[in-house]
């Protein structure tokens, strides 16, 4: 006959085990697939990053070897002449970069006086996750980089920049030196004396912008929400009693998905239009092909993919297509971030930089302070 105490302990143990299992439920199939996809994307990104690192190291080593071999084949007089020529080219480059930087500063300062006013509304931080705030901070970086490169920059404002959003922006190299208006207050307070000129750009508006007005102050909602919050910017404009309008996308393009664009895409469209006064050209330059209809892509001849790539894509399942697209977007974002930093490079200590005269040091990579200024 079984011991009652032993039987009760067995039941208690079984119940406890079940309770423990119930406290940590297994992931659903959808969650498991999502997790696996994220792991594959992360692994693919790490592999590409490592491959690029190796490629750069090999290229650098090859250039160093070629330089050393070239010097060894020369006489002392020829070697000194070559080194001096290299130093002179470097001095010219530094001089050119200083001049380009000076002209960029002048353009941005002039835009602060007479340029088209554009506000990035950053008052949505409480509605975003940490990763979405990080994504938005990168989009803002792209906006500033594009503005600083433009021949006709805008007078760019950041309003409502507080909390984690502000902390993320502070992590961007050179952020404190940006020639830009920064205000922790909401735009409705910071620009209260110009309320009649405020125009919120939102895809939900009825009015369509045909021409940019220098008197108007255009507001772009700084929100990355994966389309969770419907009509949030339109409702905000209505509540504040300010005008709302949308860009004429539908008149010139057929979007492959929704007409919701990223912050930097909207900003770059406006920059392009200021330079060209042509909406269609402005849209095509700023909107990625993946967001445009195939018909528009054919007009510009942007479907020139290789036969091998086409065959590979055709062989993928729908799930793999989505995964590849997400991976490309991540890689595109990383590459663009690096490009923005490179294209807005500032060498502040350029005048005091010592120029090495030895052959090996001449061939070394140039030193510079990377800033988005």
pLDDT tens digits, 294-303: 435 444 444 4
Per-residue model confidence (pLDDT) at position 257: 56
Lowest mean pLDDT among 113-127, 130-144, 289-303: 289-303
Does residue 141 surpass a pLDDT of 60?
Answer: yes
The share of the chain scoring above pLDDT 90, in percent, equals: 51
Helical (H) or strand (E) element with 120: strand 117-121
Per-residue model confidence (pLDDT) at position 360: 42
Per-residue model confidence (pLDDT) at position 184: 94
| Cβ 169 vs Cβ 182: under 8 Å | no
Per-residue model confidence (pLDDT) at position 73: 87
213 is catalytic: no
Lowest mean pLDDT among 11-20, 126-135, 179-188, 250-259: 11-20
Q: Does residue 300 or residue 365 have the better pLDDT?
A: 300
For the whole model, what pTM was predicted? 0.66
Per-residue model confidence (pLDDT) at position 258: 56
- Out of 15, 18, 183, 225, which one is annotated catalytic? 225
Q: Alpha-carbon distance 200 to 215, whole Å?
A: 14
Q: Which string of b and e fits 173-188 if b means at least 16 CB within 10 Å?
A: bbbeebbbebbeebbb
Q: Alpha-carbon distance 232 to 80, whole Å?
A: 67
Q: Six-digit token pair at 43?
A: 């692994």
- Where would I find the H helices in the chain? 4-23, 29-72, 76-114, 130-149, 163-170, 187-190, 232-240, 249-252, 263-276, 279-286, 294-299, 307-315, 318-343, 359-362
Q: Alpha-carbon distance 190 to 123, whole Å?
A: 13
Model confidence band, residue 229 (pLDDT cutoffs 50, 70, 90): confident
Helical (H) or strand (E) element with 117: strand 117-121
Q: Which string of b and e fits 310-345 if b means at least 16 CB within 10 Å?
A: eeeeeeeeeeeeebeeebeeeeeeeeeeeebbeebb
Model confidence band, residue 79 (pLDDT cutoffs 50, 70, 90): confident
Model confidence band, residue 38 (pLDDT cutoffs 50, 70, 90): confident
| Residue 336 φ/ψ, nearest 5 degrees | -70, -35
Q: Alpha-carbon distance 359 to 68, whole Å?
A: 8
């Amino acid at each position: 006959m079984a011991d009652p105490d032993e039987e009760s302990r067995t039941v208690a143990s079984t119940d406890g085990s079940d309770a423990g299992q119930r406290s940590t439920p297994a992931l659903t199939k959808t969650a498991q697939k999502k997790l696996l996809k994220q792991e594959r994307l992360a692994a693919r990104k790490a592999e590409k990053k490592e491959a690029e690192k190796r490629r750069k190291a090999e290229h650098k080593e090859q250039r160093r070897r070629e330089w050393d071999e070239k010097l060894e084949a020369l006489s002392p007089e020829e070697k000194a002449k070559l080194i001096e020529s290299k130093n002179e080219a470097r001095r010219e480059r530094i001089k050119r970069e200083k001049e380009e930087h000076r002209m960029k500063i002048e353009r941005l300062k002039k835009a602060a006086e007479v340029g088209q006013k554009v506000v990035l509304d950053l008052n949505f931080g409480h509605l975003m996750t940490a990763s979405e705030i990080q994504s938005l901070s990168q989009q803002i970086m792209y906006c500033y980089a594009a503005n600083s490169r433009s021949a006709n920059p805008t007078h760019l404002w950041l309003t409502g920049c507080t909390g984690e959003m502000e902390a993320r922006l502070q992590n961007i190299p050179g952020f404190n030196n940006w020639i830009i208006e920064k205000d922790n207050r909401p735009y409705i307070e910071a620009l209260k004396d110009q309320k009649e000129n405020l125009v919120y750009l939102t895809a939900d508006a009825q009015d369509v912008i045909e021409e940019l007005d220098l008197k108007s102050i255009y507001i772009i909602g700084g929100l990355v929400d994966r389309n969770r919050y419907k009509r949030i910017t339109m409702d905000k404009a209505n509540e504040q009693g300010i005008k709302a309008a949308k860009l004429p996308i539908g008149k010139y393009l057929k979007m492959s998905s929704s007409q919701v664009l990223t912050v930097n895409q909207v900003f770059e469209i406006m920059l392009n239009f200021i330079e060209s006064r042509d909406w269609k050209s402005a849209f095509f330059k700023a909107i990625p092909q993946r967001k445009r209809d195939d018909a528009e892509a054919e007009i510009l001849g942007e479907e020139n993919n290789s036969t091998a790539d086409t065959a590979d894509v055709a062989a993928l399942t729908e799930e793999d297509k989505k995964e590849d697209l997400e991976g490309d977007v991540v890689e595109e974002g990383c590459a663009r971030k690096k490009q923005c930093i490179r294209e807005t490079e500032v060498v502040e200590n350029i005048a005091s930089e010592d120029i090495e005269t030895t052959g090996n040091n001449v061939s070394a990579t140039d030193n510079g302070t990377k800033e988005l200024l």
